[in-house]
């Protein structure tokens, strides 16, 4: 297992090609995809997401979306991490967790650790995070991990509230 980040309660590890069923199970829940609107209809689609989107990011950028597991029992609870969006010249913080794990502060813990990793280890100058205006839980996570409101905009055809964090370790 390639553990990238460890927090008090969580480990964040790189996904492997054996993890498609985890992505499939996560996206099967309509509540989980309510604001992201990206259902995964069958396991083969999850394999494609993993192989075409998630895994290549690790090799290209040294970061990506990481699988999150609870240290106490090593259960998979969701994913969190950084995604390069070269077409927007952005690194984006994202997260998604199984419904039964919501409300325990896991998203905030994983998101804050991912931000810190991006700044302290990868020297990224700026990281953005965004959520639909109705996705209050996600907006709270962005605020609780220290990101600041940047703007309202339309991204990928959907209204979004965009937040940003600037690397505190880089002198300007
Ligand atoms: C968004 C998500 C990751 C949050 O995960 P989580 O582990 O529950 O997050 P946390 O426990 O760290 O924090 C959530 C905060 O939002 C609050 N919250 C949750 N739902 C809320 C609601 N409907 N209204 C107001 N606050 C809400 C919680 O009370 C908590 O704040 P608090 O610590 O001040 O009480 C989770 O709901 C999820 O996976 N959603 C589906 C995927 C998704 O939408 N991802 C984001 C795409 S932009």
Nearest CA to ligand 1 atom 33: 105
Domain ranges across the chain:
3-166
Residue 52 C-alpha to ligand 1 middle, in angstroms?
28
119 HSE (CA, 13 A, CB side):
20
pLDDT for res 37: 87
- Using pLDDT thresholds of 50, 70 and 90, give the confidence band for residue 172: low
161 lines ligand 1 (CB under 6 A): no
Nearest CA to ligand 1 atom 45: 96
pLDDT score of 29 more than 70 = yes
Which among 84, 28, 31, 29 is positioned nearest to 54, based on CA atoms? 84
Which among 64, 32, 25, 30 is positioned nearest to 135, based on CA atoms? 32
The rounded distance, in Å, linking the Cα atoms of 124 and 96 is 22
pLDDT score of 107 more than 70 = yes
pLDDT score of 164 more than 80 = yes
97 lines ligand 1 (CB under 6 A): yes
CATH class of the domain defined by 3-166: alpha beta
Which among 113, 110, 12, 89 is positioned nearest to 58, based on CA atoms? 12
- The residues near 120 (Cβ < 8 Å, ≥ 6 apart) are 169
pLDDT for res 100: 98
């Amino acid at each position: 297992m390639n553990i990238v980040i460890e927090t008090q309660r969580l480990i964040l590890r790189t996904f492997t090609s054996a993890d498609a069923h985890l992505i499939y199970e996560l996206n099967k829940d309509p509540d989980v995809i309510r604001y992201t609107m990206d259902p995964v209809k069958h396991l083969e689609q999850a394999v494609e997401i993993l192989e075409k989107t998630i895994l290549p990011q690790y090799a290209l950028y040294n970061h990506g979306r990481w699988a999150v597991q609870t240290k106490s029992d090593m259960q998979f609870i969701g994913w969190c991490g950084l995604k390069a969006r070269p077409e927007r010249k952005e690194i984006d913080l994202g997260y998604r967790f199984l419904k039964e794990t919501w409300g325990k502060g896991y998203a905030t813990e994983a998101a804050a650790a991912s931000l810190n990793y991006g700044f302290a280890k990868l020297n990224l100058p700026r990281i953005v995070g965004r959520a639909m205006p109705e996705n209050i839980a996600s907006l709270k996570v962005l605020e609780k991990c220290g990101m600041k409101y940047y703007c309202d905009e339309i991204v990928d055809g959907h209204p979004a509230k965009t937040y940003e964090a600037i690397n505190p370790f880089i002198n300007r």
